Homo-oligomer: A and B are copies of this chain.
Amino acid sequence: MKNVTIKDVAKYADVSPSTVSRVISNSPSISPETQQRVREAMKKLGYHPNVIARSLVKQKTNTIGLVLSRPTKAAFANPFFPGIIQGIASVAQEEHFSLVLAAAKDYREEHAEALKMLRNRRVDGIILMASRVNDDLIKQLQDNRSKFILIGRSLEIKDIPLVNNDNIEAAYKAVKYLHKRGYEKVALICGPEEYVVSQDRLTGYKKALEEAGQGFDKSLVMYTNFTFEDGYDATKKLMAKKDFDAIFAVDDLLALGALRAAQDSGLKVPDDMGIVGFNDDPMVSYVKPALTTVRIPIVEMGEKAARMLIRIITEEDYNGEEQIIPTEILPRGSTR
C-alpha cells in the first residue's frame, strides 16, 4: 500500500497540492466548497500528513528530547524517574509535541546524546536532569543557542531556565520538623558529597541547626550512596561514635536502612529515634513503622519543565526562568 500524499489528494479532489496544504493548515482563504471536496478526498484516500516532510520545510520538529543516564537515575532514586517522564509526556501530548528519549550509560554519553539530538535536528529542545554538575554541557548549549531546560540546578551557572525542588528548604523543614517533635540532636545521612542536591540539603540542615542555636557538628553527617546498606552502615557508624536521637536521610531507601539499624540496636522508633526520609516512595507508607518522609511533586516538576521548554521553543521572546517547587513533609509513624 503506497503512502497517500498531498498530491494524491489534490488529484482526487481536482485541485492543486497547495490548496490541499491550505486546507490542512486551516487557511482562511479557501472556499467552503473546495474545502469540503478536499476533506472528503482526504478521508476517502486515508490521507495523513507526513510529519517528517513538514519538519523539513518548517525547520521545526515539534519534538523535545530527554536524556537519561544511569547515574542520573541512581542519583534521583526510584520514584523520580517514572514520575518525571509521566509529567513530561502528558504535557507534550497536550501541546502536540513528541518526546524522544535517549539512554546513556554515563555522563560523557549523556552529554554526547544531548548534543546529537540537537545537532541532528531531531528535536527542537531538550530537558536535562542535572543531578551532577555538568557545566560544560550547559555552556555548550548556551553557545549553540540551543533551547533547553534543567530539572535540578547547576551549581555555578546562574540565570538558566530550570525547575527544581528546593532542597535547601526541604532539608531545613525536615530538621525543623524533627526539632518541633522534640528531637534534639539530628544526624544527617547525605547523598554523595559531589552532588548539588547533597550540598543543598546540607545547607538546609545547617541552617536549621543554626536557627535552633546548635553548632554544626561535622561528625553527625555521613556521605553515602543511595542503597539500604549505605543507610544501615552509616547509622551504625554514627551510633558508634555519637549520641543523637533523630536521623534525616536524603532518600527513602537510606532511611529504611537507618530504621533497621536503629531497631537492630534495640532502639524504639519513633520513641528513642526519629527518622525522616526523602522522596515518598509509594512503598514506604506501608512499612512498620510507616516512614515520615519529604514528598517532592515529581510529576508536577516534569510537567512544568515540559511546559516551560515548549514555551521557550515556540515563543520568540521568552527565554525561561527559574521555577522552584515547594516540598511537603508527610508525618507518619517513624517520628513521634
Residues of A within 8 A of B (CB): 1, 3, 48-53, 55-56, 59, 61, 63, 68, 73, 78, 81-82, 85-86, 89-90, 92-93, 98-105, 113, 116, 119-122, 144-145, 228, 252-253, 256-257, 260, 281-288
Contact = CB atoms under 8 A, between A and B. Distances in A.
A101 B103 contact: no
Nearest to A1: B145
A283 to B, nearest CB: 4
* Stoichiometry (number of copies): 2
Contacts of A56: 50, 52-53, 56
A224 B271 CA distance: 36
A120 B50 contact: yes
Contacts of A228: 285-286
A93 B99 CA distance: 15
A102 B68 CA distance: 16
Nearest to A260: B286
A100 B122 CA distance: 11
Contacts of A113: 93
A103 B90 contact: yes
Nearest to A47: B119
A93 B104 contact: yes
Nearest to A89: B103
B281 A122 contact: no
Contacts of A73: 82, 86
Contacts of A102: 89, 93, 98-99
B52 A282 contact: no
B98 A122 contact: yes
